[in-house]
Amino acid sequence: MQILSTSSLALSVALVNAGLQSTTPATHNANHIFNAVHSSMRQWGSSLLHNGMSVFIATVPEGTQLYHGTSEPYRVNATQWLAFEPEHALVFARAHHGPPPGKGGLPKPGDEQEGWHPPQSIEALQEYPPEPPPKHELEARHPHEPANGRPLSHTRAQRKRASVYYKQEPLQPKESKVKNDQHGYLHTYRAKHDLRLLYLDGQSAAKSTKGTLDMQDLVLLHDNPPPADGRPRQPPHDQPGSAQDPRSRRSSDQRPKDKKPRTGGPMSEGYRADHLCAMAENEWTGKIDGFLRMELGFEIILCSFERDLDIERITEAKESYQRRGPPGHGDGSINYYQAVASRFDNIGGDRVSIDYENFVTLYAFDNAVSFDENGLPRANNDTKVLQPVQQAIKEMTMPRNRAGSTNWQAIADMVIARYSDRIETLAAGNFAHEAAFKLEMENAVRPFIDYGNRNITLEIERCATQYFPALPPSTSIAAQAVLDVTTHTCASLLDAATESYSEALMTVKSLKTWLGWTTFKRCRGCSYNEVCFVPIWPMGGQGDYDEPKCVSNMSEVSNGYWGDMGGPPPPPSRGRNWI
């Protein structure tokens, strides 16, 4: 990787302009790496670039409030799901009523079910609400004091629900109030300390066949992937909450827990969570607390609620008798999507920080990524190809002492803010005459031209490095990707300024296609009561993906983009054009 000194920048720019830059995977895929950096932890870009091929170290600061929706008023102690937005959690804060015997659709009573996502069949979910979260917890703990002695603002009922003593009496199936009432519960937790997470980009929580699960199932769990046929496999040994873990045993006066290991849920989500957490504990020596993913909202698979969270409160959700559809449909659906859309550009509140100097992307490895017939990136399910990726991820999980780092996403933001609208305007070609087109082209690069001493190499360098920090130099993948993208952008614009109208228009259109910036698809002019809709699993159709639109009601949204929401496809053939 090149050091971004002044001399190497000039050489890099000259080589790019001459078409002689090295063709390493990171350079060849610079546009994809740039977009991964730009779209990370952003609902909009991650929704469009839904097949994430990169993993980052993410930190959620101590004290951050997080949410969990369930049918039970007991604090969670083991592996479970957390939402960043309460509207996300409230979708699952409801009573459980399973289907009658023989109706199919959802798992049979007794099957463990991950409680955060719709089942594989939307029709089944519309007929019957989800199963409750699995009772898959560590041993009950004693109530701990709030951080820094700060009293919790609990009502008496909330404190009672949060206490382990509230759950000492075993629940009897025929007499359980929780099972018979129509209420769900919204749990609110706070991080007891900084949470160190592995962030999987794209829509990594989407259960689809499109490639959204490739990083988890083909890369991280390559040696022990979720069962394709849905049948249970042996849980990982020594995983907190597993049958083998002595910490999961309870005394007889505590709330009973399910005996079976968690393997169910849509597309084996419980299995996936257990085995990812086992990897974090065993292979990565406990250096990762959980996994950060995205679907209709950002979520965390947290490996130990007991270790990492303080209970803030447990509140009873509004009673509801209506049949529920998948997230985003039914009563309050636009409210939920508005909460999701509020995170299009950022998770907000400094609730997550990403290390952009040290991340792992399949785009930087030989033959690790191909593009399918729909132009979507797919991971290569090949052991020899993925071994160096797995090793790089393991090394990344080990904490490092850093003197400082650059926020390459902020630099990517400035690049896109400067050029996105201008490139879109130029590519549209809607100019009254050629002179107006040429003037717009020149205006994009005018600040970098010395009109008394033209030098194309220096002009590209000035343009490409406008937002680069002077010191210290960086050899990171992100730094190189940003340099490659800005160099290609500036060189294309300067080149087009000297071409004929038809040639220049073709150059700009080609540049726009190569860049693939998600800003090109943003809606313009949505009203205050509308949101810009893009397919987010399990909602949306192909037309919504091709041309997102402003909507004020979810009935305006099409479907079918995500197909049957079944299991992952077989490994791709070697006949693909791997990159």
Over the chain, what is the mean pLDDT? 79
Q: Which of 50-64, 184-198, 263-277, 399-413 has the lowest mean pLDDT?
A: 263-277
User: How far is the C-alpha of 120 from the C-alpha of 265, rounded, in Å?
Assistant: 9
Q: Which of 118-122, 145-149, 250-254, 534-538 has the lowest mean pLDDT?
A: 250-254
* 446 domain-assigned: yes
319 confidence band (pLDDT: 50, 70, 90)? confident
Is the whole model's pTM more than 0.85, yes or no?
Answer: no
Sign of CA dihedral 357, 360, 366, 369: negative
* 33 domain-assigned: yes
Q: Return the structure tokens found at 17.
A: 């302009």
334 confidence band (pLDDT: 50, 70, 90)? confident
User: How far is the C-alpha of 313 from the C-alpha of 301, rounded, in Å?
Assistant: 20
Smallest CA-to-CA distance from 43 within 328, 339, 353, 344 is with 344
For every residue of 388-445, DSSP letters joined together read HHHHHHHHHHS----S----HHHHHHHHHHHHHHHHHHHHHT--SSHHHHHHHHHHHH
97 confidence band (pLDDT: 50, 70, 90)? low
Would you state the pLDDT for residue 401? 74
Report which of residues 575 and 367 the model is more confident about.
Answer: 367
User: For 193-221, what is the mean pLDDT?
Assistant: 97
User: How far is the C-alpha of 334 from the C-alpha of 328, rounded, in Å?
Assistant: 7
> What does the CA dihedral 169, 175, 176, 182 come to, rounded to 10 degrees?
-160
Q: Which of 16-30, 106-120, 484-498, 505-519 has the lowest mean pLDDT?
A: 106-120
Smallest CA-to-CA distance from 422 within 492, 346, 472, 481 is with 492
Instruction: Say if CB 255 and CB 168 are below 8 A apart.
Output: yes
470 confidence band (pLDDT: 50, 70, 90)? confident
Count CB atoms within 10 A of the CB of residue 230: 17
Q: Judging by DSSP bridges, how do beta strands 195-200 and 54-60 pair with one another?
A: antiparallel
What is the per-residue pLDDT across 229-287, written as a single tens digit (0 to 9) for each? 555 555 554 444 333 333 332 322 334 443 333 445 567 899 999 999 999 999 999 99
Would you state the pLDDT for residue 181? 61
* 504 domain-assigned: yes
Question: What's the number of CA atoms in the CB half-sphere (13 Å) around residue 193?
Answer: 9
Report which of residues 563 and 234 the model is more confident about.
Answer: 563
* 433 domain-assigned: yes
First-to-last alpha carbon distance for the chain, in angstroms, is 18
Would you state the pLDDT for residue 579? 55
Residue 467 has pLDDT above 70, yes or no: yes
Q: Which of 19-33, 474-488, 511-525 has the lowest mean pLDDT?
A: 19-33
Would you state the pLDDT for residue 475? 84
Would you state the pLDDT for residue 48? 98
Report which of residues 241 and 202 the model is more confident about.
Answer: 202
Question: Which structural domain, as residue segments, surrounds residue 481?
Answer: 6-40+400-521
User: For 529-554, what is the mean pLDDT?
Assistant: 95
Please report, rounded to a whole number, the percentage of residues in the chain having pLDDT higher than 70.
69
User: For 330-344, what is the mean pLDDT?
Assistant: 80
Rg (CA), the chain: 25
Residue 132 has pLDDT above 80, yes or no: no
Helix (H, G, I), strand (E, B) or coil at 371: strand
Report which DSSP code applies to 358: S
For every residue of 433-483, DSSP letters joined together read SHHHHHHHHHHHHGGG--TTS--HHHHHHHHHTTT--SSS----HHHHHHH
474 confidence band (pLDDT: 50, 70, 90)? confident
User: How far is the C-alpha of 50 from the C-alpha of 522, rounded, in Å?
Assistant: 16
The strand pairing partners of 551, in sequence order, are 531
Buried-exposed string 365-402: b where 16+ CB fall within 10 A, e elsewhere: bebbbbeeeeeebbbbbbeebbeebbebbeebbeeeee
Torsions phi, psi of 374, nearest 5?
Answer: -100, 5
Residue 50 has pLDDT above 90, yes or no: yes
Sign of CA dihedral 95, 100, 102, 103: negative
Instruction: Say if CB 344 and CB 44 are below 8 A apart.
Output: yes
Instruction: Say if CB 388 and CB 382 are below 8 A apart.
Output: no
What is the per-residue pLDDT across 21-49, written as a single tens digit (0 to 9) for each? 557 888 999 999 999 999 999 999 999 99
Would you state the pLDDT for residue 151? 37
Residue 352 has pLDDT above 70, yes or no: yes
User: For 511-520, what is the mean pLDDT?
Assistant: 98
Report which of residues 354 and 142 the model is more confident about.
Answer: 354
Residue 384 has pLDDT above 60, yes or no: yes
* 549 domain-assigned: no
* 289 domain-assigned: no
Instruction: Give the length of the chain.
Output: 579
Instruction: Say if CB 503 and CB 509 are below 8 A apart.
Output: no
471 confidence band (pLDDT: 50, 70, 90)? low
Instruction: Say if CB 133 and CB 178 are below 8 A apart.
Output: no
Residue 116 has pLDDT above 70, yes or no: no
Would you state the pLDDT for residue 507? 97
Neighbour-count burial of 559, counting CB atoms closer than 10 A to its CB (0-12 exposed, 13-18 middle, 19+ buried) = middle
Would you state the pLDDT for residue 234? 53
User: How far is the C-alpha of 124 from the C-alpha of 180, rounded, in Å?
Assistant: 21
Instruction: Say if CB 25 and CB 149 are below 8 A apart.
Output: no
Q: Could you give the number of structural domains in the chain?
A: 1
Would you state the pLDDT for residue 403? 66
User: How far is the C-alpha of 89 from the C-alpha of 73, rounded, in Å?
Assistant: 14
Would you state the pLDDT for residue 190? 98
User: For 352-364, what is the mean pLDDT?
Assistant: 97
Residue 142 has pLDDT above 70, yes or no: no
Would you state the pLDDT for residue 492? 97
Helix (H, G, I), strand (E, B) or coil at 65: strand
Please report, rounded to a whole number, the percentage of residues in the chain having pLDDT higher than 90.
62
* 72 domain-assigned: no
* 497 domain-assigned: yes
